[in-house]
Amino acid sequence: MLNALLSALFGCAHERTTFPLTPTGSIGASNRAASVNGTYVACLDCGKEFRYDWAEMRIGRPVMRRPESLVRPPT
């Protein structure tokens, strides 16, 4: 309850994230972040994706995503 209130007031703190992911194989809509930025993590609370630096073992800058309306489906 307290976390929900703090997130509503100050935004997500991104404390709960996935293990660093580096997708391989064909690039689909779900792999767009990795296709542009390599390894990334995703916040389990808000869904935002961040670059991940294995050398520093730290979360980096947010992954900039194009709006889905501008992405053409593969043919």
Structural domain range at position 26: 16-63
Closest CA to 50 of 66, 67, 33, 32: 33
Q: Give me the pLDDT at residue 60, please.
A: 86
Structure tokens at 65: 């995503």
**CA–CA distances in Å: residue 59 to residues 11, 48, 64:** 17, 12, 14
In a domain, 36, yes or no: yes
In a domain, 8, yes or no: no
Is the pTM value of this prediction over 0.75?
no
In a domain, 9, yes or no: no
Residues 62 and 49: beta-carbon distance below 8 Å: yes
Helix (H, G, I), strand (E, B) or coil at 50: strand
The total of structural domains in the chain comes to 1
**pLDDT tens-digit profile, the chain (75 residues):** 666 666 667 888 888 999 998 877 555 545 454 455 588 999 998 889 999 988 888 988 888 765 555 556 666
